[in-house]
Amino acid sequence: MPDRPRFFDDLAGVAGGAFSALSGLREELHAIVRSRVDETLAALDLVRREELDVVRDVAARARLELDAAEARLARLEERVTALEIGTPE
């Protein structure tokens, strides 16, 4: 049985090298695109989703605290008014 001709071995080596090169090129292209997207987002001065969620949570807590403070103030104003009139609470 004759050995495989060297031509096919060389062809397989070239094909393997081409696939390797294409894989490296794909990774490099991905890195370049990612870098450009990051630069564009930085130039637009956008915030990340995580930062927005944190600010939203802080604002929601502040709103709850404000509502509680307003309710307490209303009760205190009622007490002051009652004391000024001289009627018991």
What digits encode the pLDDT tens for the residues 5-21? 776 777 777 777 777 77
Give yes or no for a contact between 77 and 67, defined as CB atoms under 8 angstroms apart. Answer: no
What digits encode the pLDDT tens for the residues 60-86? 999 999 999 999 999 999 999 999 998
Q: 61: which 2 tokens?
A: 């807590």
Share of the chain above pLDDT 90, in %: 49
Residue 2: what pLDDT? Answer: 54
* DSSP state at residue 55: H
